[in-house]
Structure 1
Amino acid sequence: MRGDVRISADSDPVAAILQDGGPATTVSMNLIRLAETRNNAGDLPGARAAAEAALKVIMDAEGPDAPVVALALSTRGRVRFEAGEYEPALADLRRSRALLDGAPAPLPEEIATLIYDEARVLDALGRNTEAEAAARDSLTRRQALFGPVHEKTADSANLVANALTAQGRHAEADPFYRQVLGMYEVLYGPDDFHVAIVLSNLANSLRRTGRAYQAEPLYVRAVAIAEQANDPVLLAQCLTNYGWFLHITGQGEKAEAPFRQALDLALQIVGPNHPFTGVARANLGYALADQEKWAEAETPFREGLATLEAGIGADSPDLLETLDGYALVLARLGKDAEAETLYQRAATIAGSRLPPAHADSLATTEHYAAFLVARDRPDEALVRVRAGLNELLGQDVRGRDWRNRVRGAGPLFGRQVEAAWAVSAAAD
Structure 2
Amino acid sequence: MVDAVDDRHGRHLRMVEQLLEGADWDTATRVIGCARESCVRDGHGADCACEIEVLAARVQFGKGEYKAAKDRLTALMASARVRAAASADDITVALIANELGVVCKTAGWLDDAHRYYTVASAVFRRNGQTDEWASVLHNLAALRSLQGRPLDGVELAREGIRVRIGLHGPASVLVASDRSNLAGLLHRAGLVDEAAAELAMALDLFESAYGRLHLDVAVCLSGLASLAADQGEYEDAEMLYRESIEIKSVNNGARHPETLVTRYNLGKLLAESGRPAEAADELRDVVSGLEGVVSDDHIVLVRARRLLSD
TM-score, with length taken from structure 1: 0.64
Which residue is 2:53 aligned to? 115
Q: Go from structure 1 to structure 2 and tell me whether the alpha carbon gap of 1:94 and 1:338 turns closer, same or farther (over 3 Å shift).
A: farther
Structure 2: state its 5+ residue gaps: none
Q: Go from structure 1 to structure 2 and tell me whether the alpha carbon gap of 1:154 and 1:342 turns closer, same or farther (over 3 Å shift).
A: same
Q: Go from structure 1 to structure 2 and tell me whether the alpha carbon gap of 1:153 and 1:289 turns closer, same or farther (over 3 Å shift).
A: same
Matches within 5 A, 1:179-194: 179-187=119-127, 189=128, 191-194=129-132
Matches within 5 A, 1:69-84: 72-84=11-23
Which residue is 1:259 aligned to? 199
Alignment match of 1:249 (pick from 183, 189, 206): 189
Q: Distance in 2 between matches of 1:158 and 1:77?
A: 19
* Bigger mean CA deviation after superposition, 302-311 or 139-148: 139-148
Which residue is 1:309 aligned to? 249
Q: Which has the larger radius of gyration?
A: 1
Which residue is 1:376 aligned to? none
Q: Distance in 1 between matches of 2:220 and 2:264?
A: 15
Which residue is 1:279 aligned to? 219
Q: Distance in 2 between matches of 1:334 and 1:88?
A: 43
Which residue is 2:144 aligned to? 206
RMSD: 2.8
Q: Go from structure 1 to structure 2 and tell me whether the alpha carbon gap of 1:271 and 1:134 turns closer, same or farther (over 3 Å shift).
A: farther
The code of the aligned residue for 2:140 comes to L
Q: Secondary structure at the match of 1:210?
A: coil
Structure 1 residue runs of 4+, over 6 Å off? none
Which residue is 1:129 aligned to? 67
Which residue is 1:222 aligned to? 160
- 1:304 deviates by 0.8
CA displacement, residues 143-190 of structure 1 (integer Å, 9 cap, x when unaligned): 344556443332111001112212212122213212212211222x1x
Which residue is 2:28 aligned to? 89
The code of the aligned residue for 2:30 comes to A
8 A Cα contact 1:282 1:304, kept in partner: yes
Q: Go from structure 1 to structure 2 and tell me whether the alpha carbon gap of 1:75 and 1:195 turns closer, same or farther (over 3 Å shift).
A: closer
Q: Distance in 2 between matches of 1:221 and 1:104?
A: 42
The code of the aligned residue for 2:18 comes to V
CA displacement, residues 368-415 of structure 1 (integer Å, 9 cap, x when unaligned): 23xxxxxxxxxxx2xxxxxxxxxxxxxxxxxxxxxxxxxxxxxxxxxx
8 A Cα contact 1:115 1:137, kept in partner: no
Q: Secondary structure at the match of 1:353?
A: coil
- 1:251 deviates by 3.5
The code of the aligned residue for 1:287 comes to L
CA displacement, residues 16-58 of structure 1 (integer Å, 9 cap, x when unaligned): xxxxxxx9x98xx59x96xxxxxxxxxxxxxxxxxxxxxxxxx
8 A Cα contact 2:67 2:293, kept in partner: no
8 A Cα contact 1:83 1:270, kept in partner: no
Q: Secondary structure at the match of 2:133?
A: helix
Q: Distance in 2 between matches of 1:142 and 1:212?
A: 33
The higher relative CO (CA closer than 8 Å, separation ≥ 6) is in 2
CA displacement, residues 218-245 of structure 1 (integer Å, 9 cap, x when unaligned): 1221222223331622212221221111
Which residue is 1:405 aligned to? none
Q: Secondary structure at the match of 1:356?
A: coil
The code of the aligned residue for 1:127 comes to E
CA displacement, residues 338-357 of structure 1 (integer Å, 9 cap, x when unaligned): 33321121111122422333
Q: Secondary structure at the match of 2:23?
A: coil
Q: Go from structure 1 to structure 2 and tell me whether the alpha carbon gap of 1:355 and 1:270 turns closer, same or farther (over 3 Å shift).
A: same
- 1:213 deviates by 4.1
- 1:87 deviates by 3.3
Alignment match of 1:325 (pick from 262, 265, 268): 265
8 A Cα contact 1:199 1:219, kept in partner: yes
Q: Distance in 1 between matches of 2:12 and 2:137?
A: 33
Task: State whether structure 2 residue 298 is matched by structure 1 residue 358.
Answer: yes
Task: State whether structure 2 residue 78 is matched by structure 1 residue 140.
Answer: yes
Q: Go from structure 1 to structure 2 and tell me whether the alpha carbon gap of 1:270 and 1:150 turns closer, same or farther (over 3 Å shift).
A: farther
The code of the aligned residue for 2:212 comes to P
Which residue is 2:177 aligned to? 237
Between the aligned residues of both structures, percent identity stands at: 20
- 1:72 deviates by 4.9
Task: State whether structure 2 residue 92 is matched by structure 1 residue 152.
Answer: yes
Q: Distance in 2 between matches of 1:194 and 1:332?
A: 41
Structure 1: state its 5+ residue gaps: 1-22, 34-67, 370-380, 382-418, 420-428
The code of the aligned residue for 1:82 comes to E
The code of the aligned residue for 1:141 comes to S
